[in-house]
A and B are shown apart, each in its own frame.
Chain A
Amino acid sequence: MTSPMTQPMTQPLLSVEHLTMRFGGLVAIDDVSFAATDKEITAIIGPNGAGKTTVFNCLTGFYKPSVGRLALTWDGREFLLEQMEGFVIAKTAKVARTFQNIRLFPKMTVLENLIVAQHNKLMRASGYSVRGLFGFGYQGKEAEAVEIARYWLEQINLVDRADDAAENLSYGDQRQLEIVRAMCIEPKLLCLDEPAAGLNPRETADLNKLLLFLRNEHKIGVLLIEHDMNVVMQISDHIVVLDYGRKISDGEPEAVRNDPAVIRAYLGEDEDEELPDIVKQDLAGDGADDGPETQA
């Protein structure tokens, strides 16, 4: 067990303390603590079933954690996520997320997907739709929202497809659209659940570029679950490794890469046949000659 290595000077954007999640007798997450700062990409990696998505689900209010404190701090305000309802987390704490299985609004157009994401802002502008019904002072706000959507579509080169149903986009475009849709709520923390899953190498490269752009230009904190080590190692500033619901490593990519606990987690289990080669190369590094060691 490594203790948290990063101890930033200032209050981190997100601080997870002693997070534990039980489903009946099953402990999906066991006393995990870590922190994530803004303007940084924090990756959470780990073998399948390590509890990564469960961490996200706790952060975004889909599950109520059994134990733990999830504090989000920005602009001097602190939000305790474990006490908030899912939609409130997105609405006031400004945590946005994407999903492992893309969850767009398939029958709605690309543009509508992005406008829906600006729901709360537009609700206020339209006087909770009452004033909007008669058309007072809402048009301008809606035009602004469209401009924001246009900006994001420009970033992912989908302006041409703005009026097509989201379900008609290619898989890679859907992934990117889901990310910029999350950006439309103007998040402080963006949680991405395996954004590179199912992408081809070119699409993966585009994704890397987009994520770096979000970090550098929009100054948000990004929390990333990913299996594709190409993505993780290239863009993360900080990596947290989970295995069987426990944190086994935490630190800069280089440190994590050489952490024996991490290598054991990835290669120690003999039945992990589907392990991507890239992981072996990246994680095992020189130690790869030893081959997978079997541990009882």
Chain B
Amino acid sequence: MSDAAIRRPLEPAKIFIELAATALIVAALSITLVGFHVKDVPGGFDVVTRFWDVLAAVVIAVVGRGWLIGLREGVPFPVAVTATPIAGILLLALISDWLFGGTLSETLRPILPFNSSVVQWLVAGIAAMFAAVGVTRAARERSAKSVEASEKFDDDAADFMDKVAAGAQRYTAWIGAGLLVVAVVLPFLPFMNLSTLDIAVLVLTYVMLGWGLNIVVGLAGLLDLGYVAFYAVGAYSFALLASPDSPVLQMMGIKEGVSFWLALPFAGMMAALAGIILGFPVLRLRGDYLAIVTLGFGEMIRVTLLNFYSLTRGPDGISKIPPPGILGYSTQPVMDNDTLENTTEFHTWIGREFDQYDNTILLYYVILVMALLTNWFTLRIRKLPVGRAWEALREDEIASRSLGINPTNTKLTAFALGAMFGGFAGSFFATRQTFVSPESFTFIESAVILAIVVLGGFGSQIGVVVASFLLIGMPELFRELQDFRMLFFGAAMVLIMLWRPSGLLARREPTIRLKDPPARGIRRERIKTREGDAPTTDAQSGDDLATGDRRP
């Protein structure tokens, strides 16, 4: 840190080359896909050119790169001076558009080459970020007159999330309790409406899936890219049992499906069984091989659901899946003419009009309880021998074996339990949608759930909540972004990983302590002495297979 205090002189030639290279590469990247749009027109295809956008992309990239170089070389002042007005103009135009419904951006089009306000927002946001960092640094430099202070500032910023993670862990109980209170009263908060509550239900579904997968990936360290398979098995098992449209029930001549509370454990068990059947042959495979095989399983299950028409109704899916009932009463208006008995409706029984919001509240609490049970289970099992064995296998399988841990069975337990929770979540999905079809169980779902676990920070239960909110909640709340939603989703996955490679709130809490937790809280230990750093003697080099070298 200290040698950075001596600022290197700027090298204009080098910087110019860097900027030119940036321009060239961005031009090469954008000239085709951005520059030419192959459009279908009646009777063939046509090319629409968009060179203006290519130019804009190049300019934006060069300016952004210039700002980055400015910050890197420790000259924040020019960055602040240029970024602030740009961010100002862009934001002003956007805000005025938004507030007055005007078209200032449209009027400014010749100097603001964005044909989409989303891109404009994005660029404005980046410019604002640079402006903020530039101004802060410039101000600091002026007052502290030293680069060291601003370097320290950077260091602090980098450690910020570490501290947040440590804090989150230290006050887990409080944060958990706080979140729980919010979660419990959420449906009755004044700003809630049907669509936000729906989003909350969706987020909780992913929280539960994340917690379930966390057992497999976070604790046992098994890279599962096909978690959606178990979600699908759960959903279909549930649907086949609960829906009056189920081919299985129809074949057996049963008119009415099983209730939610009976079908749920069955679906979980089916998913766990699927986990055992699929897991048994492949769990001895190493990390990446396991990943590709599980991905294959996900696809196999989806293809089977799509083509096994007599069981799954193929692409048509299974509909009329009933919502959870209460005390044997249906929570939906009963449509069927055969059973036109009002007494089967819960809302009639308690003397209320049917209200979709009430119904969603019920779903909300069901998934809340299911998710909390998953959480309780995970926290609990982590502290039991099998949980510790999972973590031990994740850390070092060979050492675990040498201590008498059965790797296959232990991993299989994790796989099956993870699958079971996936199955529970799948049942909930089925009952919420009232309809299941293979479309809902594509690879992207597996990727999203895995992303939630990894982005949140392995094994971090609160991390899963945060990541679910960021990845599921935010995009749903900003539905205007529609077209850009998945683009941002992908970009967010990349950026968060680049920023925090071990996840947002990665921090491991010991499962057992000899003493009380240390009062001073966070201790930052950076001394590492393992294989790589250890003093190596030639005695450490391989011994057993090197015989060949020495033979004459």
Query: Binary interface profile of B, 524-552, with partner A (CB < 8 Å = 1, else 0)?
Result: 01011111001111111111111111111
Identify which of A91, A111, A244, A245 contacts B513 (C-beta below 8 A). Answer: A111
Q: How far is the CA of A97 from the CA of B398 in the complex (A)?
A: 11
Q: What's the minimum C-beta distance from A138 to chain B, rounded to whole angstroms?
A: 8
Chain B neighbourhood of A271, CB < 8 A: 550
Chain A neighbourhood of B387, CB < 8 A: 129
Q: Are A54 and B388 in contact (CB under 8 A)?
A: no
Most A Cβ at <10 Å: residue of B401, B525, B527, B541: B401
Query: Which of B187-195, B296-304, B376-384 lies on the face that meets chain A?
Result: B376-384
B385 interface residue (CB < 8 Å to A): yes
Q: What's the minimum C-beta distance from A187 to chain B, rounded to whole angstroms?
A: 10
Query: Which of A102-110, A210-218, A251-259, A283-291 lies on the face that meets chain B?
Result: A102-110
Q: What's the minimum C-beta distance from B70 to chain A, rounded to whole angstroms?
A: 39
B309-334 interface with A by 8 A CB criterion = none
A26 interface residue (CB < 8 Å to B): yes
Q: Are B395 and A171 in contact (CB under 8 A)?
A: no
Chain A neighbourhood of B531, CB < 8 A: 101-102
B350 interface residue (CB < 8 Å to A): no
A179-206 interface with B by 8 A CB criterion = 181-182, 184-185, 194, 197-198
A71 interface residue (CB < 8 Å to B): no
Q: How far is the CA of A96 from the CA of B405 in the complex (A)?
A: 12
Q: Are B537 and A197 in contact (CB under 8 A)?
A: yes
B41 interface residue (CB < 8 Å to A): no
Q: Are A244 and B407 in contact (CB under 8 A)?
A: no
Identify which of B511, B525, B534 contacts A198 (C-beta below 8 A). Answer: B534
Chain A neighbourhood of B529, CB < 8 A: 167, 169-171, 174
Chain B, interface SS category: loop
Q: How far is the CA of A241 from the CA of B87 in the complex (A)?
A: 76
Instruction: Decide yes or no: A129 and B381 within 8 Å by CB, A53-B543, A120-B404 being known contacts.
Output: yes
Nearest chain-B residue to A244 (Cβ)?
B547
Q: Are B395 and A129 in contact (CB under 8 A)?
A: no
Q: Are A28 and B545 in contact (CB under 8 A)?
A: yes
Q: What's the minimum C-beta distance from A275 to chain B, rounded to whole angstroms?
A: 10
A164 interface residue (CB < 8 Å to B): yes
Query: Which of A1-9, A43-51, A74-82 lies on the face that meets chain B?
Result: A43-51
Instruction: Decide yes or no: A168 and B404 within 8 Å by CB, A26-B547, A129-B384, A198-B536 being known contacts.
Output: no
Instruction: Decide yes or no: A123 and B403 within 8 Å by CB, A53-B544, A107-B395, A146-B512 being known contacts.
Output: no
B32 interface residue (CB < 8 Å to A): no
B49 interface residue (CB < 8 Å to A): no
B377-430 interface with A by 8 A CB criterion = 377, 380-381, 384-389, 391-392, 395-396, 398-407
A226-269 interface with B by 8 A CB criterion = 227-228, 244-245, 269
B110 interface residue (CB < 8 Å to A): no
Q: Are A162 and B514 in contact (CB under 8 A)?
A: yes
Q: How far is the CA of A182 from the CA of B536 in the complex (A)?
A: 23
Identify which of A48, A88, A116, A170 contacts B389 (C-beta below 8 A). Answer: A116
Q: How far is the CA of A163 from the CA of B545 in the complex (A)?
A: 38
A65-123 interface with B by 8 A CB criterion = 86-88, 90-91, 96-97, 99-109, 111-112, 115-117, 119-120, 122-123
Range of interface residues on chain B?
A: 35 or more
B510 interface residue (CB < 8 Å to A): yes
Chain B neighbourhood of A126, CB < 8 A: 384-385
Q: Are B512 and A91 in contact (CB under 8 A)?
A: no
Most B Cβ at <10 Å: residue of A88, A108, A165: A108
Nearest chain-B residue to A120 (Cβ)?
B404
Chain B neighbourhood of A15, CB < 8 A: none
B515 interface residue (CB < 8 Å to A): yes
Query: Binary interface profile of A, 26-51, with partner B (CB < 8 Å = 1, else 0)?
Result: 10100000000000000000011111
Q: How far is the CA of A254 from the CA of B536 in the complex (A)?
A: 30
Chain A neighbourhood of B515, CB < 8 A: 162-163
Q: What's the minimum C-beta distance from A170 to chain B, rounded to whole angstroms?
A: 6
Q: Are A119 and B395 in contact (CB under 8 A)?
A: no
* Other A-B pairs beyond A48-B550, A107-B391, A119-B403, 13, CB < 8 Å: A28-B544, A48-B538, A48-B546, A87-B402, A103-B398, A111-B512, A119-B405, A146-B514, A170-B527, A171-B529, A198-B539, A244-B547, A244-B550
CB<8 Å pairs between A and B, sample of 25: A28-B547, A47-B550, A48-B538, A48-B539, A48-B550, A49-B547, A50-B543, A54-B544, A97-B402, A101-B540, A103-B398, A108-B392, A112-B391, A112-B510, A119-B392, A123-B385, A126-B384, A129-B386, A132-B385, A133-B380, A142-B512, A149-B514, A171-B529, A181-B403, A198-B536
B contacts, CB < 8 Å to A: 377, 380-381, 384-389, 391-392, 395-396, 398-407, 508, 510-515, 517-518, 525, 527-531, 534-552
The 7 A-B residue pairs whose C-beta atoms are closest, nearest first, are A91-B404, A90-B404, A162-B514, A105-B395, A103-B399, A54-B544, A122-B385
